[in-house]
Structure 1
Amino acid sequence: MAHDSEKYWYNLTTGEVEKGFESPAIDRAGPFDTPEEAAKAPDVLRERSRAWAEDEAREDGWESRPAGSDGAN
C-alpha cells in the first residue's frame, strides 16, 4: 500500500492534479490511487454532497412534507 504522500490529490484552488503533498491540506481532496481518479474529484465530491443532503432531508422528514410546507401552523 502506498503512503498518502505517494498518492494523487486534486487541488481545489487550482483545479490541478498533484502527486504527494504539494499544497496545503485545506486545498486538497483525496487521496486517489491514480491521476485519472483525482481529476474526477469535483464530480465525486458533488455526488457525495448530493447524497448526503438527500440522506439528511430523509432523516429530518423533509421528504414526507407537502411541497411548499415549512412545518409552520
Structure 2
Amino acid sequence: MSSGERKYWYNTTSGEVEYGYMSPAVDRVGPFDTAAAAANALQTLRERSEAWAVEEAIDEDWRKATDVDGK
C-alpha cells in the first residue's frame, strides 16, 4: 500500500475531502496528513503559488541585474 492511500485529498471537482484514492488523480489535490489540511487545500495552493511567483520575479530581477552581455 502506498502512503497516498492513507492520506487525505481534496477533490477539486466535488469540493470534498477524501481519504485515500477515492477519485481519479486528475480531480485530486494532495496528499495531506489531516482532513483539515485537505479542506484548506485551495488556500494552501494560492499561498504557494503567490510565493513561487515572488521567487520567480526575484530570480528574474537577479538575472537581469547580472547579465553582463546585455542580452
TM-score above 0.5, yes or no: yes
SS of 1:21's equivalent in the other structure is coil
Residue in 1 that maps onto 2:32? 32
Residue in 2 that maps onto 1:71? none
Structure that is richer in helix per residue:
2
Question: What is the alpha-carbon root mean square deviation over aligned residues?
Answer: 1.9
**Normalising by the residue count of structure 2, what TM-score does the alignment of the two structures yield?**
0.78
Report the alpha carbon displacement of residue 3 of structure 1 after superposing the two structures with TM. 2.1
Residue in 1 that maps onto 2:45? 45
Give the counterpart letter for 2:13 in structure 1.
T
Residue in 1 that maps onto 2:68? none
Q: Which runs of 5+ in 1 are unaligned?
A: 65-73
1-structure distance, mates of 2:9, 2:29: 6
Residue in 2 that maps onto 1:13? 13
Runs of 4+ in structure 1 off by over 6 angstroms are none
User: How many aligned residue pairs are there?
Assistant: 62
2-structure distance, mates of 1:19, 1:49: 25
Report the alpha carbon displacement of residue 13 of structure 1 after superposing the two structures with TM. 1.4
Q: Which runs of 5+ in 2 are unaligned?
A: 65-71
Give the counterpart letter for 1:44 in structure 2.
T
**Normalising by the residue count of structure 1, what TM-score does the alignment of the two structures yield?**
0.76
Q: Percent identity?
A: 56
2-structure distance, mates of 1:3, 1:59: 34
